A = this chain, B = another copy of it.
Amino acid sequence: MILAVGPDPSDATKDSEVRRPVGVREVAKRAQVSLGTVSNVINTPDSVRPKTRARVEKAMRELGFVGSRAAGQLRSRKSGLVGVVLPDVGNPYWADVLRGVESVLEDQDLTLVVGSTRQDPARQKRLLRAFAQQGVDGLVVAPIDTLRGWEPFAGRRLGVVALENGAGPDVGSTISLDNVGGARQAIAHLLALGHRSIAFINGPQSVPWCVERREGVLDGIRAAGLKTSEVLIEVEVADLTSAKGLTATDDLWGIYQPTAIMCANDLVALGALLSLQRHGLRVPEDVSLIGYDDVVFVEALRPPLTTVRQPSFEVGVMAGKMLLSGAAHDGSERELVTPSLVVRESTGPAPLRKRT
């Protein structure tokens, strides 16, 4: 605790007496009913006679009753909370997924509690523990690390839905995206355009879907009868953000000058684009660029970005529905989503350039 160094703390006026919030008992007294009735008004209004209910509601209003979820939750063992653990809500892709989940759950008087892991396993762990302690009724998690510590959620009312696969042991239900396939499409596109010197800016290999996207890239290169070591330059960034994409591309360009850059997501690609522009390079004439996710703004970039489209909102909706249906709780339902390549103007024929 940080104490202020105020001139004279000796005021001694006990006005700091924060009057405690009013509770059900006070409301009950004022409305001339028992505390149980107040509880009924809150939870099962239909079981209370309208006249009585009105009296209680009036009392609640007059007293400014708010109620403590903690107290209720303690006894009822329901929190009305659903935890959502995502890599980064600042990424429009995940923000969209979140909107999808929200759209399904908001009528069910469930409140979303959201946390970003920022590709940091320690943060994922902390978030999961925090959510467990909050007593969330259900969990939607996009693991950026093999999912440990999810057990406390298995017994919860709604269970667990894992987005992206490769999470680890059977984790409730999962919605998998075919990352291998998506990445393969992207790399195949570049190869078909004649690119033979391609940089791949990827996230940490501790993240399951980064591993998968890499796999897809390697697969695609081999499938074209080429040697990965001769074609691919791999770069790893800790954080899949535009800032990191920018610096990574700056650094990369000092060493290699590939004819194409593929990024693990659109934010990184945005950073790469900014970097290339600052170097005075034209896209796609000098360098082709390809992203992943198809977030909203890439269509308006200069040039519009070729990318791999994944349905974001829809994935969120699926996750929400899985929770509600109980599929996440007992049986483990699996769902597979297939991404598709969206070719725009940021990719073009490979320029002639000697391999460095």
User: A residues bordering B, Cβ < 8 Å?
Assistant: 2, 4, 18-19, 21, 64, 66-71, 73-74, 79, 89-90, 92, 95-96, 98-99, 111, 113-114, 129-130, 132-135, 151-152, 155, 242, 270, 273-274, 277, 296-297, 299-304, 324-326
Contacts and interface: CB of A to CB of B under 8 A. Distances in A.
Q: How many copies of this chain does the complex contain?
A: 2
A152 B1 CA distance: 11
Contact of A95 (B64, B90, B324, B325): B90
Contact of A270 (B66, B297, B302): B297
B18 A152 contact: no
19 contacts: A2-B324, A18-B155, A66-B152, A68-B135, A69-B133, A69-B135, A70-B79, A70-B135, A89-B89, A89-B114, A90-B96, A113-B113, A114-B114, A270-B297, A273-B300, A300-B301, A301-B302, A302-B302, A302-B304
Nearest to A243: B296
B95 A89 contact: yes
B302 A297 contact: no
B99 A90 contact: yes
Contacts of A299: 274
Given A69-B133, A74-B74, 19 more contacts: A4-B326, A21-B152, A66-B152, A68-B74, A70-B73, A89-B89, A89-B114, A90-B98, A92-B92, A95-B95, A111-B130, A274-B299, A274-B300, A277-B300, A297-B297, A300-B302, A301-B302, A302-B303, A302-B304
Complex A-B, nearest 3 residue pairs according to Cβ-Cβ distance, in ascending order? A302-B302, A90-B95, A70-B70
Contacts of A155: 18-19
Nearest to A273: B300
A179 B92 CA distance: 25
Contacts of A71: 70, 74
Nearest to A68: B135
A98 to B, nearest CB: 8
Given A95-B95, A114-B114, A242 B297 contact: yes
A242 B296 contact: yes
B300 A270 contact: yes
A64 B152 contact: yes
A71 B155 CA distance: 19
Contacts of A69: 70, 133-135
